[in-house]
Structures are given as C-alpha cells and as structure tokens.
C-alpha cells in the first residue's frame, strides 16, 4: 500500500520511534512541523493520572467525528477503575473499549505520525507508551460533485469528478456494481504523498497492460504530484510527439465506459481529471454523448468531427497554398472575388495567415486567463482584431477572417482538448509547408504525419488502430457508431481479455416477449 | 542528439534553399479572361482582356470605372506577345482562367489557327475548357474591348451567353479548346467554330456609357458557325444550315421550332428532349450514313384555329415537324459538301468507327468523295404535351 521508497534528505530526521515521554514527543512533533499554527495539540488529563494528548491538523479532520466519537468517548468513558488496568494494557483498553471510532490503528514510528497527521487523522499519544493511536477522522471541505466544465453534454449524466479521490472512486463504483472492479492505490511524490489509484475491471482489462501501468507508476520518482498531468507525462509511451497518448476525462460515465472496454483508469487525489490508458487516436473523437444519442446522429456527428479535425489542421494552409500557388484550381468567379479582397492587402497570404492565427491564439490564451469580470472586454476587442475592423483597415482580407474563424471553431469540435492542442501545433507547421511548397508541401506534411502517427503506441497498442492496422470489427465504434444491439463485442484494439458484451442473440428472449405485449 | 540536430537543420535549410520560386500572390496577377488574336504585319497582335477585381466584386461597395482593361501587343509568336504585355500591364499575365479565345476572321482564314491552338494546348497552366470563337467582320480586339451589361466581364458574358444559347437555341454550338484541338487532328471530321459579331458602333462599345443605358448601343452577338478546312476558315453556315448541322451532331438539347398550320398561322413547338444517332452502313465497300433524330416536344403556342385536341391533327403536326427537321439536315449536308467540300459532320469518323480498314482507303480523298456519300435521314417526332390549354385560344375568342 505505502511506498517503500525512502528519501533520506527529508525523512531521515523524523525516522525514529515514538518515545515514552509525552512532552518530549509533543515537543518533537511541534519542532518538526515548525510550530505551524494549524497543528492542534490538546493535552488531556481526563483519564485520571494518564496524561494524554490529541494531535491533529486543524481543517483536515471532521469536527463532528472529533467531537462525538473521540472527545466525547474519552471524557465520558465508562466509569471503571482505571487503576485496575495494567499499564501495558492501557492502550488496548482505550482502543477497544473507550473509543467508538471505526478506524483505529496502532503506530510506533514518528514518520507514521506525520504522514497520518497530514492525511487527516487524529493521533492519540499516551504518556509512558511508545505506541500511539491513529484515529481516522479525515474530513475537509470539498467541491461538490458538479457538472464537468470540459466535455459537457446535452443529454447524459451531468456529474463530474471532483478533487476528492474517495468521491471519485465512489462515482465509479456507483456505476459499476461488480466485485471485478479493482482499485489499487499507492502514494507518489515523496513530499506531496499524493494518493494515486489504479482502477480496472479484473478479467476484462489485459493483465499485461495492468502490469505495465503498475510498473510505470512504480518508476515515478518526484517530490510532488499536483495533477494527473504529471503522471501522464511520466507514463506516456512517446515524449517526442505532439499527440496525446493518454486520454483524460472529467466524466465518470466516460471513465466507466473505458473500464468496460478493458482500459485502465488512473485517478489522482486532488484533481478531477482521470487518466485512461491505452488511448488511441480514435478515442479522441468519441464523445460521451455519442452513446446516449441515436446511432445515426452520433455517426453523422463523428464524421463531422473527423472533418473538423482536418479543417482545424489544414484550412489556413489550404488557403495559403491555393492563393499563392494554385490559383488555376479556383473557380474563376471565386478567384476574382478573392483577388478583389486581396487588393491593397500589404502582406503575402502566409504572413497574413500567420498574423491572424497568432492573434487568435493570443486572444484565446487571454480569454482563458482573464478574470471573468473583464471577460467582456476580450470579446469586444477580439471581434475588432479578428473581424470587419481588421478588414476595413486593409491589414487582412475578408476571406482570411473567414478561414481563421472556421479553423478556430473547428478545433473546438474535437471532444478532447489534448488533441485539439496538437492540431494547433501542426497547423502552424502545415502553414509553413504550404507557403513554401503549396499543395505539394501539404501532401509531404500529411505523409510525414501519417508515418508518425502509425509509429506511435500507447501501452503496447498501435495508436492508429483500428485504422492502421485495420481491425474491421472495431470500426463499429470509431469511424461510425453502430446501434447498441450490434455492439456485441468489446473493441479488440483496447486489448480486452473478455470480448463478449452481449449474448449471441443480442437481445434476451424474455425481454423480447415482454416487449411484444 | 547532435546528429538529430544536424538532420533537422539540414531539412530546414532544404526548405529555405528552394525558396518560393513559383509563389505569386493573387494581387500580383493580371487575370486574363479573354484572349484575342489579330493579324499584324510582323506576326500577330495579341489582345488580353484583364479583369480589374475591385471593379467586379460587389462587396467592396461602389464600383467605379471599368471592370476590365484591355492590353495589346504585337510579336512574332503568341507567348512572346503575352510576355510583352507586361510592358503596359503592371501585373504578371495569368492565363489559367481564360474563358474565351477570340480569333479574328482575317487571321483565321489567312494565317490559320493551328499554331495558336498548339501553343495554347501545350501550356500546362491553361485549362482547355475555354471557348474558341471567330470575330466576324471585326477584330478580336474590338470584341474584347466591348463592355457588356449584366455580366460585367465581357469574356464571361461571351462564355455564359454561348453556353446558355447552345443549350436552348439550336443554331449555336459550343466549341471548347479541347474539342477544337481534337477535331483539328482527327481525319474524319473538320472543325467548326462559332462566330461572334459586334452589333452597333464598335468604338462606343468600349465606353462605360455603353452599359449605363438600358439598351446598350453596342452589343456582342453570336452569328453562324465557321467552317474550317485544316486550320483555316473557309466559310460560314447560315442559321438554317447551323440548325441542320447541330441536329446531325446531336448538339441540340432544347429549342423551339414551328410548323405551319393547314391554313394561316403557325404552331410553335418546344423540344423537351432531342437526340440523334449517326450510324455508318457499308455495303460492298460503299459507305452510307443513317441519321436518326428523335424529338419529344410540347406545344408552346397555337396561333391558328387548329384543333390540337384531335389526335389526327397531332399526327399531322408530328409528320410536318419530322419532314422539317429532315429538310434542315439535308440542306446543311448538301450545301456544305457542295460549297466547302469538308466533312464537318464527322461522317468519316463514323465510317472509321464501323470499318477502319475501309476508312484507311477512303481517308486521303475523303473531301472529294463527300459529295457522292449517300445519307439517309429519319426522324421521329413526338408531341407529348400540349400545355395547359386544349384547343387554340383563337377558336374561343368571341367575334
């Protein structure tokens, strides 16, 4: 459960056993923690001659548990003659007969005291005892389970993960009520001691993938993990790529669907973003809503997403290529119209496109960072710099504004942000190629991109599968979305062990009969 | 790592080294819409109709001045002249979007169009979908200088108007560069080219005032079909001959014709669908041609008291129309083979298709033998609809 890695620089000082002297212990704890004001030490003489102390971090413990289960039981313990109890049994007596909290454990090391304090436990130190009691009372303010900000849907569950790992695991368990849902936790980060949970469906997820995830998590050696993004960069297969090979989601339903496909989820305490591996190129075009809407609409939307991917990646470079190299390809009237717009525009199409794309990227970044109260200002200024004003000023042509707009809008159609970001990077490369070689350059770029994409892997699975290598049976949920009765098998490409999803008939006989009535 | 860096640098340098040698911004192009060729003392005079984009596009607000400008230069060859146009034009001449190629009658009949077509087809930048036409009784420069209303770019007007009329009016035919070239090199068919004329004062046509009135004084109009022998213009077909020619070549789609009523007046018939088939028949190495025209039409107007509700009347109208079409075709073939001795109908091509061996023997003296060729015409005219009225309006009008 706990990490066994030791980091001498930080832990050696506190790596010692608990002493028998209460005052010395308390002194030591205070000093180690730097007399931090949120450390609460309550010295306690209620237990007759046994001086005791409760130590906890304010804000990390549930006040209700502290009062009703710990303090009250200690003060109002059954009036037995404590003198009768032998000294070495005092602790057991307290543990089994006085305290009514559920989660109590004996600890002997100072290290454990600090880890437990930070984990929201209450430590009961007893004078004359080298053993302390750890009483689980964790409870702090959490964000409520709210609708996820990213990956929102019109139809479907509106719950999103929050920052609490326990809540997040609960959200998954509530959807998959099966003992095969296994959760493995470990602590990563020798200072932050962040709990990281690996969740998978045993006998569905591939053992090799599970073991690989375990190994890669094991290898992480860092002081702190503040978000699942840290983990993602440590465990991803290829670092020299702009494409994400780890999927992340804020939606419990998405995570559950992935688990049911045999993928492995990695939950990190303190962030609502859950990682999913293996992640394939096609996964980034799947939205949770695809599965809640009718199949035909979902298929259409999915095709639109693939189209948007290409528009977001290639629209400016296409425009550059056509307008500076291949004017003969345009319909005559369109050419005249475009030429009319370009009259008096001072820059070459490439510079013009670069200018507009950069402006847009700046606006986008500003829009994300800007405080909500002044957000309006950005949109007003934005419409000026990318819009009619820029055209009227003679800096850019109207067609370019349209191109930049369609590009920007298209990149938001991709349901997962990670891929949308990589598309933005590729877009600039493609623009450079288009400006130097025209369509020839774009084609070279696309060929290189295809080679690169097909060479990528995510946890042993080819990134472009089921397209390359082609797995025909998996196209049912990638290129299009087959109606649920036809999705009888789990995808082969996520390496699931047990492929059967529905019985051969698809619909059970009993259900059919009942439906007829 | 160093190796990778070097590789990357090399790749980047390769990109820069080639440069952007064929890059051209749209606003550095003079888009030629129409190209005209006239005869000149020392070679040929090339006229380019270049579009002024700002003068055409409607979204830039008020359009001032002419939508087109015309540049002319004289040089021994076509492309020399085109390059020479930059002496007067501020922009590089861009030929890809040329819509019409206008050749003057003088040039076409004396010099021949072969060399021009050769250079135009050879250039990979030029799409061979532009229409070729002959400027009748005028110069190509005049045709291209004339401003037109409705379609501001007159080359566009020439293109669209020819396309529309060839679809809806039997006597015109479209000849694009591709087809013209094909017919020029094929032995079994001689090329034809549409003629275009200036109606009204040619000088006034180039003034903006011309398009500011509701009835411009100067207009461009298509007239007749020019007959070519090899690459030289040798004569013109009149309207009836053109009709006959188009029926034979299966160029007619929709048109309107008329037949006479039994007493005074006419009945107009609108073709809904027209098709014709040409078949060569060879008996004892003597070829003959069978032409079958099939028309489905509707009654467009009845300008007499004919009882078209009566099936006999319809039958008679059909027979009249059939014989009329047959007559048109017959006249066209007879006058062309008598006057010009060229095979613009593609009879030779058809014989070649049926019996290539026989064609090999006939090929060399085909134009002479053309007059002896027996051509059989059949027509099948069907009036399927009579419109929203039954008998003529005239029979109901009260005295």
A115 versus A246: the higher-pLDDT residue is A246
Contact B94 A327 (CB under 8 A): yes
pLDDT at A388: 82
d(CA A252, CA A274): 9
- Residue A389 has φ and ψ, to the nearest 5°, of -60, -40
Contact B26 A336 (CB under 8 A): no
**Residue from the list A324, A338, A339 with its beta carbon closest to the beta carbon of B23:** A324
A175 versus A89: the higher-pLDDT residue is A175
Q: Per-residue pLDDT tens for A290-312?
A: 999 999 999 999 999 999 999 99
Give the helix, strand, coil percentages of chain B, each rounded to 5: 40, 30, 30
Give ipTM to 2 decimals.
0.82
Buried/exposed code over A467-491 (b: 16+ C-beta within 10 A; e: otherwise): beeeeeebebbbeebeeeeebbebb
Local confidence pLDDT in tens for the 399 residues of chain B: 788 899 888 877 776 676 667 788 888 889 999 999 999 888 899 999 999 888 776 555 555 678 899 999 999 999 999 989 989 999 989 998 999 999 999 999 999 998 999 999 898 888 888 999 999 999 999 999 999 888 888 899 999 999 998 888 878 888 989 989 989 988 888 899 999 999 988 888 888 888 888 888 899 999 889 999 888 999 999 988 999 999 999 988 888 888 888 878 889 999 999 999 999 998 888 899 999 999 999 998 888 877 888 888 889 999 999 999 999 999 999 998 888 888 899 999 999 999 899 988 888 888 888 888 899 999 999 998 888 877 777 777 765
Query: How far away is chain A from the Cα of B183, in angstroms, using its nearest Cα?
Result: 26
pLDDT at B186: 87
Query: How far away is chain A from the Cα of B392, in angstroms, using its nearest Cα?
Result: 46
d(CA B347, CA B252): 18
CB-based contact A230:A517 (threshold 8 Å): no
Residue A509 has pLDDT above 60, yes or no: no
Q: Per-residue pLDDT tens for A45-104?
A: 766 667 888 899 988 888 888 888 888 887 776 655 566 666 667 777 778 877 777 788
Contact B25 A324 (CB under 8 A): yes
**Residue from the list A332, A340, A433 with its beta carbon closest to the beta carbon of B60:** A340
Q: Are strands B286-302 and B266-283 parallel, antiparallel or unpaired?
A: antiparallel
Residue A159 has pLDDT above 70, yes or no: yes
Short-list A306, A236, A274, A200, CA closest to A461: A236
d(CA B189, CA A92): 115
Residue A4 has pLDDT above 60, yes or no: no
Residue A11 has pLDDT above 50, yes or no: no
**Residue from the list B26, B51, B94 with its beta carbon closest to the beta carbon of A338:** B26
Residue A8 has pLDDT above 60, yes or no: no
Which DSSP symbol is given to B267?
E
d(CA A128, CA B109): 125
pLDDT at A188: 93
CB-based contact A160:A249 (threshold 8 Å): no
Residue A173 has pLDDT above 70, yes or no: yes
Mutation test of the interface with chain B: which of A239, A317, A332, choosing the one with the most B Cβ atoms within 10 A? A332
pLDDT at A513: 43
N-terminal to C-terminal alpha carbon distance within chain B:
105
Residues 6+ apart with CB under 8 A from A30: A39, A41
Q: Which domains does chain B have, with CATH numbers?
A: 28-237 (no CATH), 239-389 (3.30.300.210)
Rounded percentage of chain A residues whose pLDDT exceeds 70: 91
Rounded percentage of chain B residues whose pLDDT exceeds 90: 40
Cα angle: B124, vertex B193, A329; to 5 degrees: 30
Residue A514's pLDDT band (cuts 50, 70, 90) = very low
Q: Per-residue pLDDT tens for A110-156?
A: 888 888 888 888 998 888 888 888 988 888 888 888 888 888 888 89
Work out the average pLDDT over A375-402.
83
pLDDT at B45: 93
Instruction: Give the SS3 label for residue B104.
Output: strand
pLDDT at A80: 59
Residue A510 has pLDDT above 60, yes or no: no
CB-based contact B257:B239 (threshold 8 Å): no
Residue A480 has pLDDT above 70, yes or no: yes
Residue of B nearest to A345 (CA): B27
User: Around A8, how many Cα atoms within 13 Å sit in the side-chain half-sphere?
Assistant: 0
d(CA A495, CA B176): 59
Contact B15 A340 (CB under 8 A): no
Could you tell me the CA-to-CA distances from A282 to A291, A302, A334, A415, B298 in Å, in that order? 15, 10, 36, 11, 57
Contact B26 A325 (CB under 8 A): no
Query: How far away is chain B from the Cα of A475, in angstroms, using its nearest Cα?
Result: 37
Rounded percentage of chain A residues whose pLDDT exceeds 90: 40
- Chain B CB contacts of A327 under 8 Å are 24, 26, 29, 94, 96-97
């Amino acid at each position: 459960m706990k990490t066994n890695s030791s980091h001498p620089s930080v832990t050696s000082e506190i790596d010692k056993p608990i002493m028998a002297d209460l005052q010395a212990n308390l002194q030591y704890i205070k000093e180690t923690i730097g007399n931090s004001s949120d450390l609460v030490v309550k010295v306690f003489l209620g237990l007759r001659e046994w001086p005791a102390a409760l130590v906890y971090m304010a804000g990390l413990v549930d006040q209700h548990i502290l009062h009703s289960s710990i303090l009250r039981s200690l003060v109002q313990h059954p009036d037995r003659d404590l003198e009768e109890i032998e000294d070495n049994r005092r602790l057991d007596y307290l543990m089994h007969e006085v305290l009514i909290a559920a989660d109590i454990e004996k600890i002997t090391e100072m290290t454990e005291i600090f880890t437990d304090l930070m984990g929201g436990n209450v430590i009961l130190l007893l004078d004359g005892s080298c053993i302390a009691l750890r009483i689980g009372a964790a409870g702090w303010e959490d964000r409520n389970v709210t609708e996820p900000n990213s990956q929102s849907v019109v139809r479907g569950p509106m719950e999103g993960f929050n920052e609490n790992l326990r809540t997040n695991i609960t959200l998954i368990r509530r959807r998959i009520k099966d003992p095969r849902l296994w959760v493995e936790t470990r602590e990563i980060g020798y200072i932050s001691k962040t709990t990281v949970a690996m969740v998978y469906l045993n006998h569905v997820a591939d053992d090799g993938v599970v073991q690989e995830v375990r190994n890669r998590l094991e290898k992480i050696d860092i002081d702190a993990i503040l978000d699942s993004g840290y983990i993602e960069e440590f465990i991803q297969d290829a670092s020299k790529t702009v494409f994400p090979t780890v999927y992340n989601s804020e939606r419990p339903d998405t995570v559950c669907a992935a688990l049911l496909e045999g993928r492995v989820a990695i939950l990190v305490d303190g962030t609502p973003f859950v990682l999913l591996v293996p992640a394939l190129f096609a996964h980034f075009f799947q939205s949770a809503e695809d599965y809640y809407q009718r199949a035909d609409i979902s298929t259409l939307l999915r095709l639109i997403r693939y189209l948007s991917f290409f528009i977001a990646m290639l629209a400016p470079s296409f425009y550059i290529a056509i307008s500076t190299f291949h004017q003969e390809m345009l319909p005559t009237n369109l050419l005249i119209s475009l030429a009319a717009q370009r009259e008096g525009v001072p820059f070459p199409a490439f510079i013009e496109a670069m200018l507009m794309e950069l402006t847009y990227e700046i606006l986008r970044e500003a829009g994300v960072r800007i405080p909500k109260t002044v957000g309006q200002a950005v949109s007003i200024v934005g419409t000026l710099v990318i819009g009619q004003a820029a055209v009227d000023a003679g800096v850019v042509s109207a067609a370019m504004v349209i191109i930049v707009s369609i590009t920007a809008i298209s990149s938001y159609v991709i349901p997962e942000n990670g891929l949308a970001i990589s598309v933005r990077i590729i877009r600039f490369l493609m623009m450079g190629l288009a400006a130097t070689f025209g369509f020839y350059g774009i084609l070279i770029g696309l060929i290189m991109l295809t080679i690169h994409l097909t060479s990528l892997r995510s946890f042993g699975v080819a990134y472009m599968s089921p397209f390359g290598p082609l797995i025909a049976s998996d196209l049912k949920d990638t290129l299009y979305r087959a109606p649920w009765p036809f999705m009888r098998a789990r995808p082969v490409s996520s390496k699931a062990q047990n492929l059967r999803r529905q019985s051969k008939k698809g619909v059970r006989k009993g259900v059919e009969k009942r439906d007829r009535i | 790592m160093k190796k990778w860096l070097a590789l990357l640098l090399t790749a980047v340098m390769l990109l820069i080294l080639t440069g952007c040698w064929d890059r051209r911004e749209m606003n550095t192009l003079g888009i030629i819409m129409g190209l005209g060729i006239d005869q000149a003392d020392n070679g040929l005079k090339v006229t380019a109709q270049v579009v002024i984009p700002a003068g055409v596009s409607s979204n830039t607000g008020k359009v001032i001045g002419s939508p087109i400008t015309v540049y002319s230069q004289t040089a021994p060859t076509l492309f020399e002249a085109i390059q020479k146009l930059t002496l007067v034009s501020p922009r590089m001449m861009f030929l890809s979007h040329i819509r019409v190629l206008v050749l003057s009658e003088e040039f076409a009949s004396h010099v021949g169009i072969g060399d021009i077509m050769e250079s135009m087809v050879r250039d990979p930048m030029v799409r061979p979908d532009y229409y070729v036409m002959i400027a009748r009784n005028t110069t190509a420069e005049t045709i291209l200088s004339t401003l037109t209303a409705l379609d501001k770019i007159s080359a566009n007007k020439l293109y669209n108007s020819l396309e529309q009329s060839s679809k809806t009016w039997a006597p015109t035919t479209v000849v694009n560069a591709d087809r013209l070239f094909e017919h020029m090199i094929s032995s079994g068919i001689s090329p034809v080219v549409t003629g275009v004329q200036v109606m009204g004062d040619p000088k006034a046509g180039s003034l903006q005032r011309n398009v500011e009135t509701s009835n411009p004084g100067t207009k461009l109009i298509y007239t007749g079909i020019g007959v070519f022998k090899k690459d030289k213009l040798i004569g013109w077909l009149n309207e009836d001959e053109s009709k006959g020619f188009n029926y034979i070549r299966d160029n007619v789609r929709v048109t309107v014709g008329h037949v006479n009523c039994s007493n005074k007046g006419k009945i107009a018939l609108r073709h809904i669908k027209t098709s014709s088939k040409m078949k060569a028949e060879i008996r004892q190495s003597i070829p003959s041609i069978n032409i079958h025209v099939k028309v489905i039409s509707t009654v467009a107007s009845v300008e007499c008291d004919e009882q078209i509700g009566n099936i006999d009347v319809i039958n008679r109208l059909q027979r009249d129309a059939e014989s009329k079409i047959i007559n048109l075709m017959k006249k066209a073939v007879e006058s062309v083979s008598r006057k010009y001795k060229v095979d613009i109908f593609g009879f030779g091509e058809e014989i070649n298709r049926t019996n290539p061996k026989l064609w090999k023997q006939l090929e060399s003296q085909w134009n002479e033998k053309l007059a002896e060729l027996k051509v059989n015409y059949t027509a099948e005219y069907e009036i399927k609809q009579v419109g929203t009225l039954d008998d003529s309006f005239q029979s109901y009008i009260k005295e």
